[in-house]
A = this chain, B = another copy of it.
């Protein structure tokens, strides 16, 4: 190669910073929505792949598999039944769009509704990837505080009233009502009805993200906002990433054809991956309902390990609840701790965590908070990782001062 061509002057303006090189997973991996490798139902997935390919393999020669751009029809049929039984959602397979993970679902919903300068309502603590997407679009995210049941209706009403007084009609209210990310809260059905009433009063639709809603220890849950709405003002999304496997990039959107037809016009990917849809449909029709409680039981056990390890290593310095489901714990450390600094110091010790400010619109409130995902590491890694984190935190911030009832310096 002679003098290398310089692409620098040709790059588009305002690109995000370049990605770093991948260096493998950290030893203590408490981030990223990964799940438990031991719980991937390998044998049943092989049986599903074999059965569906034997029956329908030649259809891989066609974009869309004879099912059209909404996605593999048997998967949409499974979802229609599952959503009805689990979340009370009434929809036909033609009101479901299969997406490449729920991230594409978020992008498609944003794509038809948002433009730079718009405003949306979000939960004050919410999924970091939703916040970065809104920032990239130039959309203002107004955070509404949460309590142990999720979105606070009084605060929502006040925020909507304030925006209305300024002539601003938010494009949607983004909520994760069932196993909230990061708090783990499940919104009661009464609270959901209040939320719907306020949303309808202000003419603002609801964007309901149910990405984690299958992973509930009790197995039962309130009906989805989509199910409770009487006006069709709720767009509902979900995913198989948490209930089966995150590397399978399969999510979905439930919405009216009026909206799906708009999203399809912008979904120019020639369909989402067919093999993943086919294998999931075949697997889920037979095994989903037995698999999910088994997975949830294992996750509950890992949560217990994490909570015990935190109590043991942080004592009263770490405050946290007992979430009714999910794969993460939202933790408050003493005010002296800056979790973004903790993040950097912990990374050097092999511990990956989500610092609170990335998961919140209120950076000051979230400054000493963090999210730990517990689904991927083995119990022993959870214990060692939390012990390491406590050591790093004590070194950097002087807390915890006492560990396992032993004074530390």
A1 within 8 A of B: yes
**Size band of the interface chain A makes with B:** 35 or more
Residues of A40-91 whose CB lies within 8 A of B: 40, 42, 45-46, 49-50, 53-54, 57-70
Q: Tell whether, in the assembled complex, residue A70 and residue B22 are in contact, meaning their CB atoms are under 8 Å apart.
A: yes
Is A37 engaged at the interface, CB distance under 8 Å to the other chain? yes
Quick check: A270 and B62 within 8 Å, CB to CB?
no
Contact of A276 among B19, B57, B276 (CB under 8 A): B276
A11 nearest CB neighbor, chain B only = B112
Given contacts A10-B171, A58-B37, A66-B25, contact A269 B249 (CB under 8 A): yes
A7-B258 CB under 8 A given contacts A40-B61, A112-B12, A275-B247: yes
Cβ of A396 < 8 Å from any Cβ of B? no
Scan A108-134; emit 1 where CB is below 8 A from any B CB, else 0.
000111110000000000000100110
> Which among B61, B112, B259 is the interface contact of A37 at CB below 8 angstroms?
B61
Bound Cα distance from A275 to B5, whole angstroms: 36
Does A213 make an interface contact (CB < 8 A)?
no
Return the contact of A247 from the options B61, B103, B233 (Cβ within 8 A).
B61
Which residues of B are found within 8 Å of A169, using beta-carbon distances? 10
Kindly list chain B residues whose C-beta atoms are within 8 Å of the C-beta of A247: 59-65, 271, 273-275
Please, which residues of chain B bring their CB within 8 A of the CB of A246?
60-63, 270
Contacts of A62 in B (CB 8 A): 25, 32, 34-35, 37, 246-247, 376
Proximity bits, A385-409, B CB within 8 Å = 1, else 0? 0000000000000000000000000
Closest B residue to A115 using CB positions? B12
Knowing A46-B50, A53-B45, A61-B36, say if A273 contacts B261 (CB, 8 Å): no
**Interface presence of A165 (CB below 8 A):** no
Return chain B residues, CB-CB under 8 Å to A233: 5
Min CB gap A301→B, angstroms? 16
Interchain CA distance A107-B75 in the complex, whole Å: 27
Q: Is the CB of A15 within 8 A of B262?
A: yes
List, in ascending order, chain B residues with CB within 8 A of A94's CB.
Answer: 21
Task: Provide the bound-state CA to CA distance between A264 and B107, in Å.
Answer: 17
Complex: A39 Cα to B107 Cα, angstroms: 35
Whether a CB of chain B sits under 8 angstroms from the CB of A16 is yes
Known A13-B115, A57-B40, A70-B22; contact A249-B271, beta-carbon cutoff 8 A: yes
Assess the B266–A60 pair: CB atoms within 8 A: no
Return the chain B residue nearest A35 by Cβ. B61
Distance, CA A192 to CA B375, complexed state (A):
52
Interface residues of A in 132-182 (CB under 8 A from B): 132-133, 169, 171-172
A225–B276 Cα distance when bound, in Å, is 34
Assembled-state Cα–Cα distance A57/B43 (Å) = 9
Q: How far is the CA of A39 from the CA of B62 in the complex (A)?
A: 12
Is A279 an interface residue, CB under 8 A from the partner?
A: yes
A249's partner among B22, B171, B261, B270 (CB-CB below 8 A) is B270
Of residues 177 through 205 on chain A, the ones whose CB sits less than 8 Å from some CB of chain B are 200, 205
User: 9 A-B residue contacts at CB 8 Å?
Assistant: A1-B230, A10-B171, A16-B266, A19-B262, A20-B261, A33-B63, A65-B247, A103-B270, A273-B275
Q: A64-B247, A100-B269, A250-B273 are in contact. List 13 more A-B contacts (CB 8 A).
A: A5-B231, A7-B258, A12-B113, A15-B112, A15-B262, A21-B261, A37-B61, A46-B57, A60-B246, A60-B247, A101-B270, A247-B271, A249-B271
